[in-house]
Structure 1
Amino acid sequence: MPALSTITRFYGAAQVAALDRRVIDEFGIPGFDLMHRAADAGFQALCGRWPEADRLAVVCGPGNNGGDGFLIAARGLASAMTVRVWFPGNPERLTGDAHRAYQAFMRAGGVLTDSSAEALADADVAVDALLGTGLGRPLAGDFLAAVQAINRAGEQGAGVLAVDIPSGLDADTGAIWGEAVRADVTATFIGAKLGLVTGAGPAHAGEVTLHELEAPDRAYADMPWLASQPDDTWLAAALPRRRRDAHKGDHGHVLCVGGNTGMGGAARLAAEAALRVGAGLVSVATRGGQAAAMTQARPELMCRDMTAAADLDALLDRATVVAIGPGLGTDNWARDLLERVLMSDRPLVVDADALNVIAENRPPARDNWIITPHPGEAGRLLGCATADVQADRPAAAAALAERYSAMAVLKGAGTLIADRRGELWVSTAGNPGMAVGGMGDLLTGTIAGLLAQGIDPATAAVAGVCLHGRAADRAAADGERGLLPSDCLAPLRALANPASS
C-alpha cells in the first residue's frame, strides 16, 4: 500500500479531548482562547451559509460546547442580530471557560429565554451547542426536548448549525443516542470525528467544516486516530501509469462467479466493472442459458454456462482472482460453486449471497480474501442483528476482519474498510442515489479488477471503495434519483486513470 502521507485522519471523542488538552497544557494556548476561536469559526460558518440571517436562536448545554454557543450568540449580538438563547438549569452553576463564556454573553446584552421552544420561535438559524462529543447515553428530559425543538425548527424552515457535532450523535460510531439533531452544517473543531461521516452521521451532520483552531501540527504528531481516508495523491500512487510495453496478461484474469436464474445482470455488472478498472481478461461463470446473451451484450466478456461445479475447474486454473456472489443465489447450484471456489487457492472477493451461505457454515480459514457485506450480511456473518452492526460500525468492521481473517469492507453511508491488524479506513465518497440494486455488484468487480492487476489486498479494497463512491458522485451530476450502477461505468474508467487525467 502506498504511504499514507496525505490523508484525512478521523478521531474519536477521547482522542479529540486529548488533543484539546495537549494544545492547552503542552503548547500554552488557553482554553478560553480556543473557545473564542471555535466561536469565530462557528459564526463564520453560520454567516457563510445564511448571510441574510437576522433572527438567531442558540441552544446551549452545560459544558464547553455550550460555552462555544454563548460566544456565538455574543457575536450575533455584535452583528445586530436578534438573538435568543436557552440554557437548561441555572447558568450561574457553570464552571470554568463555559461560565466565562456565559458572562461574556451577558455583558454583550444577552438574555435567556424560559424554554427552547421560545428561543426557537421564528428563528432564521438555530444553533445546536447543547452536548458536544461527551454524550454516552440516550437523550432524556430537557435535552431530548431541546433536540426535538431544534429539529422542528429545521422542518419549519430554519437553518440548523451544529457546533462540533450534532447533539445525540455518537462521535466515534455515527450511531444515534435515541434522537439527534439534524443539521444543515456542522462546524467541527480540532479533529474530524469519525461519527460525522459513517452510519447516521452524514444524514445528521449535513455539510461538515473542520477548523483546527490554529493548533500546532506537532500536537497531532503521535496522536492515534480511529480511521483514515486517502486523498488524490494516494490514489494516483496506488494506480500508476502502465508500462508502454504492457499486454493483457500483465493485468490479470478475473473470474466472476454468479448470475443465477434471473440474476445474470448482477454478474455482468461485476464483470464489466473489473474490465473498466483495468483487468486484462474477465470471464463469467453463470447459470445455464445465460452465457450467450451476456457475451452478445458485452463481447469483451468470456462467458460460460455452469451445469455442474466441476465445470468451474478449468476456469479456476486460469484465473488470477475470483469474484463470487453477485446474483449467485443460495440453491444447490450456488452452494456447489461456492464450495468449489473456497477449495481453490485463488484470491477472492466475496459478496452478496456467497456471504449469506458462508454465514451459515463458516469456511476454513484463509488469508487471501476480501469480503464486502452490507450491514444485514455483516450481522449474519457476526451472528448479531443489523441494528447491532449499525450501533458500532467501526467495531463491526474490525470484528469481521478478525473473525474471517480477511480484508472487510462494511458498506453503507461512510463505508469502512478494516484489516486483520485493526487498521481502519473510511470513504466519504458516495451519495443516496447508490441505494439501488446492483451497486454492490459493481463494487465487487471494481475491487476484483484492481486485485487482479497485482495491487495488494488492502490497497485494492481501499482504492476500490474510493473509486466506486467517486464514480457514483460523478454519475449523480444529473440527479441522485434514478441513478443506475451502469451509469457509473464510464466515470469509473476515468477515475481509474488518475495519472492520465
Structure 2
Amino acid sequence: MSTLNTSSLRPLYTASQVRELDRRTIAGGIDSFALMQRAASSAWHSFRSRWPQARSVTVLCGGGHNGGDGHVLAALAMQSGLKVQRLSLKPLDTLSGDVARAAELATAAGVSFEEWQPSTTLSGEVIVDALLGTGLTGEVEGSVKQAITAINTASQPVLALDIPSGVSADTGAMLGTAVEATCTVTFIGDKIGLHTGEAPAYAGDIDFRPLGVKAQAFFDIPPTAWRLDEAMLSEALPPRSRTSHKGSLGHVLVMGGAPGFGGAALLASQAAARLGAGKVTLATAHEHLTASLVRCPEVMARAVRSGADVAELPANADVVVVGPGMGQEAWGQAVLQSALQASTPLVIDADALNLLASRWPTLRRDDWVLTPHPGEAARLLGCSVADVQADRPAAARALQRTRGGVVILKGAGSLVAGPSGLVVCPYGNPGMASGGMGDVLSGMLGALMAQLGGLEQSAWLGTMLHALAGDEAAKAAGERGLLASDLASYARVLINP
C-alpha cells in the first residue's frame, strides 16, 4: 500500500484558529472590511447557485461580524434585483466598526431595515442566518433564541453563514437550540464542528469558501483535524498483483457469538471475507456453526465451548476481531483473555469494549483499533454519554491517549483518533442506525488490516468504506429498512475502483 498522509485531506480548524487566520490575513495587508465583503460575495454566489429562481430573501443579522456579512449580502441581493427583508437583532446605531460600515453599505444600497421582533413574519423565499457565527460558547438565549425558533418554524430553505447559529464550531454540539440550515457556507478554514456531533442535523450541505486564504501556509497553526475524502480509495487500493494468493492477503480471525448470540459474529466474518481477506476464521459457540456454513461457507468456522478451544487460534491469524455478540459472561471473558494474550493486532468491538472497561481498566496497546459507540466510549472514559457527545473530538483524543492504538468514535461524523491526529468521516446516513452495523465495520477493519498492514490507514479507510457503502445502499433503495448485511456487497464495489 502506498503511504497515506493527511496532506491529501481537507484541513479542519477550531474557531480560535480561524480567528487567528483571519487576523493574520488582515495583518498581511488585506483590509478587514474587504475580507468581510469577500465573505459576503462568496455567500451570495453560494445562494445564487443553489436558489437561482429566488426573487426575495430575508436576512437576519446579529451584532457581530457574522451580522456584518449578512448586511453586505443583503446589499448584493438588492443590487441583483431581489426583494430584501433585512432584520437586525440590534439597533443599527449601536453597531460599530466593520459591522456598522456593512450596515451603512446595505442602507446606501436601498435595503430597508427592521429591528427584529418575535411577531415579525419572515417573508423571503430564502432565509439567511447571519446571527451568531463561530464565537458562541454558552447556550443560546434571549432574542437570538427566539429568532432561531422563528427560522426553524418557517417553511423556507435556510442559508447559514459560516456555521448554523447555535452550533459549536469546535465540538458540533447544539448549544440549547440551533438553526436548521439547508446549506452552510463557511469561510477561510473549514470548522471541525460542522462535521460531527449534532451538526450534521443542522448544517445541511457544506460549501467551503477559503476566500483566497491559504490556511496551510501558516505552519504554526496546524489543523485540529482532517476530513476524509473518498478519493483516497483508489490510491490505497490499487489492482492486486497477478501473483497474489490467499496466503498473501491476510488471515482474519473473528472471535464472538456467545451461545444464543451468533448473528453479530456472522456479520463480521462475512464482511471480512467480502472486503478481500485471503482467509477468514470464525471462532464461535458450537450451536452457530451450521448457520455460518449456510450463510458463508468460505468462512472457516470453529466451535468454542471454553477458553481452551481458542487458546492457539489468535497466534495463527494476522488480525483478530473480538467482541461481536460475545457477551460479558464467562464465555466472553475467556475468549477476550485469549485474544489479549496473543501479540496479534486486534480490532476490539462491542462487549469486548465493555469488558475492557470493567476488567482491564488500565490496559493499553499500540497494536489495536478500538471501535466504541458513545455509550461504550463513556464506559471506557468513566463519564456519561452526554459528556462524550458534548465534545466528541476531546473524547476520541482522550481515549486514544489513555488506551493507545487507534480509536474510532462512531456516530454521526465518526472520528478516528490515532498517532497522526484526528480525522472526521463526512459520509454515512440515518439508515445506518440499525443493529449489526458496528459488527460489519469491525469485520471490514479486520480485512483491511490483514491486507494493508497499517492500523491507522486501515481505520481511516474502513470507517470511510463502511459509511460510503451505507450511502450507496441508501441511494439504491432508501434509508428505512437498510440492513447491516446490505453493506458488504456495496463495499466490495467500492474497494475495486
Determine if contact 2:21/2:215 at 8 Å carries over to the other structure: no
AA in 2 matched with 1:387: A
User: 2:466 is matched with which residue?
Assistant: 468
Counterpart AA for 2:382: G
Equivalence for 1:164: 162
Cα distance change on mapping 1:430 and 1:449 into 2, 3 Å: same
Change (3 A) 1:341 1:218: closer
Cα distance in 1 for partners of 2:102, 2:134 equals: 19
Asked if structure 2 preserves the Cα contact closer than 8 Å seen for 1:172 and 1:194, the reply is: yes
**1:444 shift after superposition:** 0.3
CA 276–241 in structure 1, closer or farther in 2 if over 3 Å, else same: same
- Secondary structure class of the residue paired with 2:401: helix
Alpha-carbon distance, 1:359 to partner: 1.0
Instruction: Report matched runs for 1:35-434 at 5 Å.
Output: 35-153=36-154, 157-216=155-214, 219-361=217-359, 362=361, 364-419=363-418, 421=419, 423-434=421-432
User: Structure 1: which 5+ residue stretches go unaligned?
Assistant: none
Deviation of 1:145 (Å):
1.1
Secondary structure of the residue aligned to 1:158 is coil
Deviates more, 1:224-233 or 1:63-72: 224-233
Aligned residue type for 1:135? L
Partners of 1:245 and 1:337 in 2: CA distance? 36
**Cα distance in 2 for residues equivalent to 1:454 and 1:49:** 41
> For 1:15, what is the secondary structure of its paired residue?
helix
Contact 1:57-1:120 within 8 A present in 2 as well: no
Structure-2 separation of matches of 1:139 and 1:363 = 39
Structure 2 unaligned residues grouped into runs of 5+: none
Query: Is 1:325–1:351's contact at 8 Å kept on the other side of the alignment?
Result: yes
Deviation at 1:415, TM superposition (A): 0.5
> Equivalents in 1 of 2:403, 2:259: separation in Å?
29
The count of aligned residue pairs is 493
**Match for residue 19 of structure 1?**
21
Tell me if the contact between 2:10 and 2:226 (Cα under 8 Å) persists in the aligned partners.
yes
Q: Which residue of 1 aligns with 2:8?
A: 6
CA distance in 1, matches of 2:195, 2:216: 25
Shift in Å, 1:55: 3.1
How far is the alpha carbon of 1:118 from its aligned partner?
4.9
Instruction: Output the CA distance in 1 between the equivalents of 2:215 and 2:175.
Output: 33
Question: Is contact 1:22-1:219 (8 Å) kept?
Answer: no
How many percent identity over aligned positions? 46
Cα contact 1:85–1:119 (8 A) shared by 2: no
Deviation, structure 1 residue 116: 4.5
Aligned to 2:114, the other structure's residue is in SS state coil
CA distance in 2, matches of 1:443, 1:220: 36
Please give the alpha-carbon distance, in whole angstroms, between the structure 1 residues aligned to 2:106 and 2:119. 18
2:258–2:332 Cα contact (<8 Å) kept: yes
- For the residue of structure 1 that corresponds to 2:12, the secondary structure is strand
Per the alignment, in what secondary structure is the counterpart of residue 115 of structure 2?
Answer: coil
TM-score by length of 1: 0.95
Q: Distance in 1 between matches of 2:115 and 2:64?
A: 19
Listed one character per residue, the Cα deviations across residues 137-189 of structure 1 (whole Å, up to 9, x for unaligned) are: 11111111111111111xxx211110010011010110111111110010111
Q: Distance in 2 between matches of 1:239 and 1:116?
A: 57
Give distance in 2, aligned partners of 1:114 and 1:172.
30
